[in-house]
Amino acid sequence: MKKEPKHPITDPEDPSDTSKGKAASNVYLKYSGMAFQMGLIILIGALLGRKLDDYFHSPKPWFTVALSLLAIFAALYSTLKDLLSPNKKNQPPR
């Protein structure tokens, strides 16, 4: 009687393989969360600038431009801080 080969996804042979898969998915979740965070920061800055331009009846969208640029720099700072932190939790598995 022949043994059927185990399915690599549903029946892993080595339990450490599943921990590697979970760690890899955690890294993907971390980076996709960073992307959404960047987008949200920039969107809030642009919308707030637009509201201020409407409120002060400015002839040109100075608040929108200024707050959008400020939000871009804030989003980049936040992302780079998370990427370059020496914390072991933030490091991808090797």
Angstrom distance (rounded) from CA 73 to CA 35? 14
Q: Which tens digit of pLDDT belongs to each residue from 28-66?
A: 888 899 999 999 999 999 999 999 999 999 999 999 999
- How high is the pLDDT of residue 69? 98
- How high is the pLDDT of residue 24? 77
Q: Domain ranges in the chain?
A: 35-84
Query: Does the pLDDT value for residue 94 go beyond 70?
Result: no
Mean pLDDT for the stretch of residues 7-35: 72
Compute the half-sphere exposure of residue 58: CA atoms within 13 Å on the CB side of its CA: 15
- How high is the pLDDT of residue 12? 56
**Tokens matching residue 67:** 């707050």
- How high is the pLDDT of residue 71? 98
Angstrom distance (rounded) from CA 94 to CA 91? 9
Which residues does 67 contact at the CB level (< 8 Å), separation at least 6?
45, 46, 48, 49, 52
